Amino acid sequence: MAQTAAASKTVKFIITRQDNPESKAYTEEFEVPYRPGMNVISALMEIQRNPKNAQGQTTSPVCWDSNCLEEVCGACSMVINGKPRQACAALIDKLEQPIRIQPMKTFPVVRDLVIDRSRMFSALKRVKAWIPIDGTYDLGPGPRMAEKKRQWAYELSKCMTCGVCLEACPNVNEKTDFIGPAAISQVRLFNAHPTGELNKEERLEALMQDGGIEGCGNSQNCVRSCPKGIPLTTSIAEMNKETTKHLFKRWLSV
């Protein structure tokens, strides 16, 4: 095994492709010359440069999405050897070959590995994942956040809307309208902010709409998959507590 790898110095890929959103998916194999330190994106770039499949036939280059190339934008998420992750941070040396690459099918596939993550952005809008500070005059500086709180809130703010947690979740699929873990964790983040807190109830109520927090079935795959190590299940449980409290408060306060 090691010998053949050393002799031919190529990396084998089996890529799931799809020409357009409606067409059927198919797989195509590729063999890319090995370079030390390469990752999945640089291998895809190599295919783009020389679009030949493993059989030597010329084919259309594989499409993918990427921006930052340092695991902070979340655009390059795809399923690599069965697990969703960022392609730019997936080092070839650490992957078993042949490397199987698929799009994250939880999202609509645009083409090949390019997916449409709009549902995540509409989820953020739905839960009002921002802090409303616009007004007609300067309100001056807002209240400060306690350092201890800031530390855990900072962890939550690392979310890059990459979609890995939705892909890993068994309850995010065509049969449900569950918004997924990321947006729930963002409610916790914005409700923790001293100014954001003023609109706390609105966000909680958004989580209590159809497809909200009740969609969580506690498989806890999200927390094991998040590349940013965000404590998603703690966020979800905390929001369970807050929405439960809100529920009783609403009932009891006429």
Partner 1 sequence: MKGYYSRKLHSLLGVIPLGAFLLSHMISNFQAFEGGKEGFKGAVNLLNSLPLIFFLELFLIWLPLMYHGIYGLYIAYQAKNNIGNYNYERNIRFTVQRITGVITFVFVIWHMYDTRFQIMIGKITHDDLGAVMHDIVSNPVLFVLYIIGVVSATFHFANGLWAFLVSWGITVGPRAQRVSTYICMGLFVFMSVLFILAMTGFRNSEFQAAQAAIDVVKTVLA
Angstrom CA distances, 74 to 117, 177, 237, stand at 10, 22, 25
Using CB under 6 A as the binding rule, whether residue 204 contacts ligand SF4 is answered as no
Q: Which does 182 bind (CB under 5 to 8 A by kind): ligand SF4, ligand FES, partner 1, none?
A: ligand SF4
Beta-carbon contacts of 130 under 8 Å, excluding residues fewer than 6 positions away, are 190
Neighbours of 212 (CB within 10 A): 23
- Our CB check for ligand FES shows the closer of 85 and 193 to be 85
Give the count of residues interacting with ligand SF4 (CB under 6 A).
16
- Residue 45, class by beta-carbon neighbours within 10 Å (0-12 exposed, 13-18 middle, 19+ buried)? middle
Task: Please say whether the dihedral angle defined by the alpha carbons of residues 52, 55, 59 and 64, taken in this order, is positive or negative.
Answer: negative
The single residue among 11, 101, 104, 164 that binds ligand SF4, judged by CB under 6 A, is 164
Q: Which of residues 208-227 bind ligand SF4 (CB under 6 A)?
A: 226-227
Q: From ligand SF4, partner 1, ligand FES, none, which one binds at residue 86 (CB under 5 to 8 Å depending on kind)?
A: ligand FES
* Partner touching 244 among ligand SF4, ligand FES, partner 1, none, CB below 5 to 8 Å by kind: partner 1
Minimum Å distance from CB 193 to ligand SF4? 18
Q: How far apart are CA 42 and CA 52, in angstroms?
A: 15
- The residue type found at 204 is L
> Cis peptide leading into 98, omega within 30 of 0?
yes
76 interface partner picked from partner 1, ligand FES, ligand SF4, none, CB below 5 to 8 A per type: ligand FES
Nearer to ligand FES, 69 or 110 (CB): 69
Task: Give contact residues for partner 1 (rule: CB under 8 A).
Answer: 82-83, 168, 170-171, 173, 175-176, 208-221, 224-225, 231, 233-234, 236-245, 247
The entry of partner 1, ligand SF4, ligand FES, none near residue 161 (CB within 5 to 8 angstroms by kind) is ligand SF4
Which candidate, 7, 110, 118, 93, places its Cα nearest to that of 43?
93
CA 107 – CA 173 distance, rounded (Å): 9
Q: Which residues bind ligand SF4 (CB under 6 A)?
A: 74, 159-165, 181-182, 185, 226-228, 230, 232
